[in-house]
Amino acid sequence: MNNGARSHMVDARSGARAGTPQIFNIGEVLAQLNADFPAITASKIRFYEEKGLITPQRTPAGYRQFSDADVERLRFVLGLQRDHYLPLKVIRDYLDAIDRGETPQNLPPGVSIAPRMVSDALALELKGRSRRLTGEQLRAESGASAGLLESMLSYGLLEEHDGFFDDNALRVAKACTALDAHGLQPRHLRPFQSAAEREFGLVERAVAPLSSRRDGASQARAAEAAREIAELCLGLHSALVHGHIARMDR
């Protein structure tokens, strides 16, 4: 839905004049975001407020009042978490730069924003970013041959869901295609999948005290902790591998 259509719906519901700033309660915010982010909850929004990612106004009675900018800021946070697996501390750095009127550095590929609060263009860009790809689309975008795709599937490096692949599968396929050019075929790469499963088990155990709670805020904290632990695991893995490579030069 484009911004004009959304504003029209809000005006019709609230009776506000077109062109005037819109104010939403938390239920209305959830209604706007739910189609793109079904896991969003009121407690998760409160968690993001607790972390300083959004700062909605309050009525004298203490009720939260969200602006259009707050909603797009939430869309920005949720989109970067869902599509790029970024931890909140990284997203917070982006938002801090935007708040200072700067253009954030090192944004993920395909994400660009104006040097101000999250733009309408970015909101539209992030909306529905998670795609469903057919096998043909996956091959076309990754450069993988039909034989390589079949091999990735047979060795468990890719998973197909109802005949489709997601963006994460595309990243895996691109990496496997590049490695295949170096003579590393999917049968050689199966240990990476096994290692990823073991590392995920470690992460899962570490966040179990939080993830076992059913409220949205705890689930959000668990997901954020999982991302941070995963980044640390990847950093450790990279350092260990590069340590072995460095010894080749000695």
Check whether residue 120 and residue 137 sit in a common domain.
no
Check whether residue 121 and residue 165 sit in a common domain.
no
The values of phi and psi at residue 230, to 5°, are -60, -40
Check whether residue 70 and residue 22 sit in a common domain.
yes
Tens digit of each residue's pLDDT (9 = 90 or more) over 158-202: 988 888 998 789 889 999 999 999 999 999 999 999 988 998 899
Question: What mean pLDDT comes out for the span 138-145?
Answer: 94
* Range in 42-46, 64-68, 104-108, 126-130 with the lowest mean pLDDT: 126-130
Check whether residue 95 and residue 179 sit in a common domain.
no
Check whether residue 49 and residue 64 sit in a common domain.
yes
Using pLDDT thresholds of 50, 70 and 90, give the confidence band for residue 232: confident
Q: What percent of the chain shows pLDDT beyond 70?
A: 81
Check whether residue 80 and residue 143 sit in a common domain.
no
Question: pTM above 0.75?
Answer: no
Using pLDDT thresholds of 50, 70 and 90, give the confidence band for residue 110: low
Using pLDDT thresholds of 50, 70 and 90, give the confidence band for residue 130: low
Check whether residue 113 and residue 65 sit in a common domain.
yes
What's the structural domain count of the chain? 3
Write down which residue in 77, 93, 126 finishes a domain: 126
Write down which residue in 149, 166, 184 finishes a domain: 184
Check whether residue 115 and residue 135 sit in a common domain.
no
Tens digit of each residue's pLDDT (9 = 90 or more) over 35-65: 889 989 998 899 998 888 888 888 888 889 9
Check whether residue 118 and residue 138 sit in a common domain.
no
The CATH number of the domain holding residue 15 is: 1.10.1660.10
Check whether residue 145 and residue 227 sit in a common domain.
no
| Full residue range of the structural domain in which residue 96 is found | 3-126
Check whether residue 136 and residue 175 sit in a common domain.
yes
Check whether residue 169 and residue 227 sit in a common domain.
no
